[in-house]
Amino acid sequence: MVKTAKTGVYYNLLEDGDKVFYFSYNDINDNKKKKWVKVGKYSDGIREINAFNLRAEQLSKMLHGEDITVIATKKKKEIVTFDDLAQTYFKDMNSTTGRKSRYNIHIKDIIGNKDIHKITKETIAILLKDVEATGKANQTLKSIKELISTIYNHSIKKHDLEIVNPCIAVKSYKVDNDRQRYLSLAEIKHLKEVMKDNFLVSLFIDLSLQTGGRFETILHIQKKDINLASGTVTLKNLKTKSTYTGHPQKEFLESIKEYLQNLNINDYVVSFEDAHDTKLTQRQIQHRIKPLLDRLFNKGLDTKDAKNRAVIHTFRHTFASHLAINGVPIFTIKELMNHAKIEQTIRYAKLSPENGKNAVQGLYR
């Protein structure tokens, strides 16, 4: 400990050349015991005069009021971490397990305990670079950045947090979402044949192919959502907290009629035999279906080949693609897919038999 020219002010010299300033005083409330208070680093803007002034304030407080070390402790407790913002966001938005899982896996351990005011664009960029180094695709990197940004924006807009979102200046990741892959009729038939003895997986696949519901949407279907009389199923859009209607084929509904009769009204349709009241997680389904899709349809394809690999989302893409192939109007497909914008649906128009090919072939004849 090196004494400075200021009374009661000292510093320690660190290996990297930085200094940590302290001040000492005799505590009259503790038998004049000598106390040491850490003020901060030179690299953080702390100088001898700062430590000296704090010491003077401590002596004054000790004689006339609250101990400055108590104030410092209170201020320390008031530090807001990124995890504080994240938990507020998840609670307010009743977020899906998928978003929470992404946060816990990729974000929490890196910046969860950091003071939000000390998280910079460089902090976010390094986090993303480290995730990229593990081989994750741009879609994952984009989702991580968007989640961090969304958590900041939620507190800024809903809880009046005064801070600049550090994600604003972080580079964006380009993602090609134009998935080309959908299952042909022969592939669907083959898939169902392979899985005919696995009721749970077959049920999930059928509901996905019959409604085009997103992964989490299918897992949220309860007995009360299926109306056998009208031949409809109420589907939940977890992103917008809204519902829309699906129209499964009569033959499929008839095939699960007996199964549904044995469920309680609030039971989940896709669920384990001894726990119908418990919603399955995406991971529980993913572990059962991904190896199957890889074995049947993904041999030789790069793991990052999102355009051509068959994944669980391929079932949704297959639903829309076959609607278009069968000549269903694009605006009807939009409603059945629960797309927010027609631009999301337009890509299926090229599969329609009325895509203009026949009209062009008939020109000038």
Token code pair at residue 165? 């979102």
Q: Which helix (H) or strand (E) holds 36?
A: strand 33-41
Q: Map out the domains of the chain as residue ranges.
A: 2-77, 82-169, 185-351
Q: Are 270 and 218 in contact (CB under 8 A)?
A: yes
Distance CA 304, CA 302 (A): 5
Please give the backbone phi and psi of residue 291, each rounded to the nearest 5 degrees, phi first.
Answer: -60, -35
pLDDT at residue number 167: 92
Residue 75's CB is within 10 A of a number of other CB atoms, namely 9
The domain 82-169: what is its CATH number?
A: 1.10.150.130
What's the topology of domain 185-351? hpI Integrase; Chain A (1.10.443)
Q: Which helix (H) or strand (E) holds 243?
A: strand 242-246
Walk along the chain (365 residues) in steps of 10 and give the mean pLDDT of each run.
91 89 86 87 84 84 61 56 94 83 93 92 93 84 93 91 88 71 94 94 96 96 96 91 93 96 97 95 94 95 85 94 91 93 85 64 56
pLDDT at residue number 357: 56
pLDDT at residue number 278: 96
Distance CA 315, CA 311 (A): 8
In CATH, what class is 2-77? alpha beta
Distance CA 142, CA 145 (A): 5
pLDDT at residue number 55: 86
pLDDT at residue number 76: 47
Residue 346's CB is within 10 A of a number of other CB atoms, namely 13
Q: How do residues 236-257 score in pLDDT, each as one tens digit?
A: 998 788 999 999 999 999 999 9
pLDDT at residue number 62: 75
Token code pair at residue 39? 């003020």
Q: Is 169 helix (H, G, I), strand (E, B) or coil?
A: helix
Place of tokens 């949220």: 220
Q: Are 239 and 98 in contact (CB under 8 A)?
A: no
Q: Which of 25, 29, 116, 134 is nearest to 79 (CA)?
A: 116
Q: Which residues contact 11 (CB under 8 A, 6 or more apart)?
A: 1, 2, 4, 19, 20, 21, 22, 42, 48
Token code pair at residue 141? 């990197």
* AA letter at 251: E
Distance CA 150, CA 144 (A): 10
Distance CA 51, CA 212 (A): 65
Q: How do residues 324-365 score in pLDDT, each as one tens digit?
A: 998 899 999 999 999 988 888 888 888 877 655 555 555 555
